[in-house]
Structure 1
């Protein structure tokens, strides 16, 4: 290959894309090419390596004794860690005929210390690399904010009334329509504007007659912007003209709304506060539905701004619970108020559901709650249907308040818990796992806490309970394999060459941490909070704690990124990702994350002696 081709090859591989032009040229000029047959040992455990390898063609396995630790393929490199430490911890063997570029250790180490970004990368831990990659990707996505359109923001509905409308009637219209401004149209067709502040400053302070014409307090000379124009242009126009709002038109030159500074600020700050406020003030189902439709905009905005996945999940979870609480208060029969507890479970209960995937909810009734069965079933049916209309899909397992199995009195839930723990079937343990993640979304939370305390009590009385509960993870395999680094389900034709990142990574981590948390009788439901609590009680050490948190965040970040792309392409969101859609570094970090999941799995197998259960 020519120097130009070698330079292009190296530049494609992270973190070598951070090399300066001079450093890149020196890399390329000092590369050699080496060929190896299948099963050739390139580097032995215990050796002092003198080369860094970049794979042009073929596969290389990293082994510890006979166990394959990792796989390296085209456009990947190995083993920088051995070069830095001047000691090879593992053996590297070709899995097929392989061609590599090689770079001497001397040149690599010298340039490593000359380049701060390169040095920082190779001296980071796995958890630090995961964290750094997430921040790097978010910075790239920040540019998306610059192409946001006016229609993407919270555009207030345009309400147009005659110029001669009385001040009193105009004020009533503002209140009725719940808009901050009114547009007025005079006999010549000219548009004027009047705001709520005009009523305060011009009407009240001047003691104007309420029957006077509202046009007298209006303003003219409006600035217009098209709904498909860039949002930053609307912001520029406001700053240029010293105004607080502009009128929005569509492509047919029709007025469709008004956007103000608050809307702009809300959008660039993800307008979380305004949505939360809208939920609190909502008095109708339709108002709640409108507020819920803003959630995806918040998610996209936070994601583009580089906000970490756990914070996005926490924020969206708070909005979801606020929405469900308000829906409950609007629709629930009076008999249930104070005598029931609406709970959300599963990923929603753990505060880890970001995009709306399904409903996992239940209703615990106080034992002395007096409500007719028919009335109760009508309410739970309607509640589920409202959430479906809001964009929360039905749960395929029918884990919803509309299912009588998940709507019962507290003593009946305790009986359920006893049967789940005693029967020890897969379905029983899955139901218990889902319920253990429950949090109160509305109502009397003591009803839920008492049932959870009962779980701890009954579980502790059964010696083999925790082992059977944790054994669920043995049914799930981490998709890390021998060939291209990942294992695919050959029987799944629909998702060929894709990985179920939930089954192969997220679930194992969640269930593993959930098992240890249940054994330690922790009330926390969020996985990261559980990891931190397990660290506090000495179950996991500081380094493993950080690895688990960063691996969990990375897996969820990759899943969210994939599903946002699917939404953009009008595809159904799911748990599948295609590794070919990831860059080289993301593939590497995905493997690192799966290694951490495997490490947790092995800990649980040893801790609970799962091979003997």
Structure 2
């Protein structure tokens, strides 16, 4: 974007980018290009507002004595509050040599009179502005990926037959419709699907044109109103490369994974296919580097952290499952459940950090063989770039490799003796997500965890109290409380914001019997159950998403410098004024949530 071009500038700047074409043209024509040297006062506090400065180059300082000065940089607008109030509430001074576009006050008010949403933007809360800013950045291919309806995609044709389907009928139908697959309708079994590969494979195997073909079931399908991002996640989860899209009129089409991924970038690696095709750990090793490149590209284009983390977590779950099948005997894979915990279990992993996993064994499983395979998996994951967990939360540790009965006993011991280690174990199990093997074994674990905690509410309260272990880094006048020593001038996003939000929501979900493990999904489910009202649920999700985004930026910076992306500290002064305000707003939400948790779980009664 050329910020010296007034038309291009306003076309990408909220709320101007929402104006009708005529009003946008009027605003662009009214802009004056102005220059001011360092130190010049643009406006004294209490003086009449001259207009809105839209900065092309340089920095303007807004003087706030109690809260600390705020700096505005290129691509940002300053002076709106003065225009809304008639006089400037604070002085504005040029901090670095300034080139700006000045929108006269009378034009600003005229735009607001003809388009009320324009003025409302400057009156609305920071979360609304954050969404508007994110929407303005999420353009091009990535916006299409996340928000385009499946129904707006050019879908591939599907042939359609009723059972029984003979080989020659299937071949003829696929050829006639120019289709890659066909729907098979059965009154008793519902819909199934046959692909070209199924037909060719049957021909090679039997050679009988009259042979009846069994359809693939259950059918994986989505409605046309679903978006492409959800479709991609569905395909990754089911290990398929295409899915059926139902239209409103009852017809159907086919969308392929590569069609969606091509919208990200023409060079985007098909990571899931690389994982599927891998026949050795060495072949899996190259996936990690590609993943970091893709995450960096998504983040740089403004894609929200919640979407990035969901995608990364799906791909990593696939990598775990593939690694497990490479190191474990097939019989053990079938007689066990490999599960992930922590950010991986919640589907919130940003970049790969350390391992958090466990294994449930059926009564038929070979425990000695499981111990050997668990050791091989931990070693293999370390080779793939996932360091061993310092706390030993890995399948190589017998504590995390148990039968359901053994895990039930372990939960009972944690509930009976809820010390720090026991509470950590309960919290980790609450996030458990199966990625390979028998999901029914994990169901036993979840049911037991829910029942035990429901019978011991004081244990839930002790879990909830953990969010008070770290102070919110926000002072009385909304100034940041920064650290000293090795992280002087920085604050810890994880301890100060992400952990209390994530863990507090987790404890609420455990109390309510919510099965979801993802924090955003837990918040939405708790809203549906009436535990949070709609506005507070939106604030919680918005704050968590923003803090995740800041942490991802810090992790990518560490990765680019050749460091392990494990540090969650940031320097707020390196943020622009808008992101600093959003950070303050997010931390205020954290503090509100802490007070709610304290009241709801009656933490004052704990000894």
**Which residue does the alignment assign to 1:464?**
458
* Cα deviation digits, residues 5-64 of structure 1 (max 9, x gap): xxxxxx9xx9899986956789999964249xxxxxxxxxxxxx9999999576444xxx
**Which residue does the alignment assign to 1:385?**
379
Matched, 1:584 2:580: no
Shift of 1:309: 1.8
**Which residue does the alignment assign to 1:131?**
131
* Cα deviation digits, residues 463-506 of structure 1 (max 9, x gap): 3222112111111221112578211122xx22111111011111
Alignment CA distance shift 1:74-1:311 (3 Å): closer
Shift of 1:319: 0.9
For 1:327-342, list aligned pairs within 5 A: 327-342=323-338
Secondary structure at 2:402 match in 1: strand
- Higher CA-based Rg: 1
Of residues 303, 306, 310 in structure 1, which corresponds to 2:306? Answer: 310
Shift of 1:85: 9.2
**Which residue does the alignment assign to 2:404?**
410
**Which residue does the alignment assign to 2:109?**
110
**Which residue does the alignment assign to 1:358?**
354
Of residues 578, 586, 592 in structure 2, which corresponds to 1:593? Answer: 586
**Which residue does the alignment assign to 1:473?**
467
Shift of 1:114: 7.0
**Is the CA contact (8 Å cut-off) linking 1:130 and 1:551 kept in structure 2?**
no
**Which residue does the alignment assign to 1:214?**
none
Matched, 1:509 2:508: no
**Which residue does the alignment assign to 1:370?**
366
For 1:38-77, list aligned pairs within 5 A: 56=61, 59-61=64-66, 71-75=67-71
Shift of 1:78: 11
**Is the CA contact (8 Å cut-off) linking 1:358 and 1:394 kept in structure 2?**
yes
Shift of 1:446: 1.0
Secondary structure at 1:75 match in 2: strand
Secondary structure at 2:457 match in 1: coil
Shift of 1:431: 1.6
- TM-score of the aligned structures, taking structure 1 as reference length: 0.64
- TM-score of the aligned structures, taking structure 2 as reference length: 0.65
CA distance in 1, matches of 2:506, 2:79: 35
CA distance in 2, matches of 1:141, 1:611: 51
**Is the CA contact (8 Å cut-off) linking 2:362 and 2:404 kept in structure 1?**
yes
Secondary structure at 1:342 match in 2: strand
**Which residue does the alignment assign to 2:521?**
529
**Which residue does the alignment assign to 2:489?**
497
Alignment CA distance shift 1:498-1:545 (3 Å): same
**Highest RCO, 1 vs 2 (Cα 8 Å, sep ≥ 6):** 1
Alignment CA distance shift 1:266-1:135 (3 Å): closer
CA distance in 1, matches of 2:141, 2:588: 27
**Is the CA contact (8 Å cut-off) linking 2:337 and 2:359 kept in structure 1?**
yes
**Which residue does the alignment assign to 2:292?**
296
**Is the CA contact (8 Å cut-off) linking 1:263 and 1:271 kept in structure 2?**
no
* Cα deviation digits, residues 558-608 of structure 1 (max 9, x gap): 111222122223233221111122111010111111111112111111111
CA distance in 1, matches of 2:473, 2:79: 22
Shift of 1:448: 1.0
CA distance in 2, matches of 1:469, 1:108: 56
Alignment CA distance shift 1:381-1:529 (3 Å): same
**Is the CA contact (8 Å cut-off) linking 2:49 and 2:82 kept in structure 1?**
no
Which segments of 5 or more consecutive residues in structure 2 lack a partner in the other structure? 1-9, 18-26, 54-59, 94-104, 143-257
CA distance in 1, matches of 2:92, 2:340: 53
Matched, 1:322 2:315: no
How many residues align? The count is 446
Alignment CA distance shift 1:590-1:263 (3 Å): closer
**Is the CA contact (8 Å cut-off) linking 2:137 and 2:301 kept in structure 1?**
no
**Which residue does the alignment assign to 2:157?**
none
Of residues 588, 591, 609 in structure 1, which corresponds to 2:602? Answer: 609
* Cα deviation digits, residues 174-220 of structure 1 (max 9, x gap): xxxxxxxxxxxxxxxxxxxxxxxxxxxxxxxxxxxxxxxxxxxxxxx
**Which residue does the alignment assign to 2:160?**
none
CA distance in 1, matches of 2:114, 2:491: 35
Alignment CA distance shift 1:27-1:535 (3 Å): farther
Shift of 1:80: 7.0
**Which residue does the alignment assign to 1:441?**
435
CA distance in 2, matches of 1:406, 1:463: 25
Alignment CA distance shift 1:53-1:503 (3 Å): farther
**Which residue does the alignment assign to 1:570?**
562
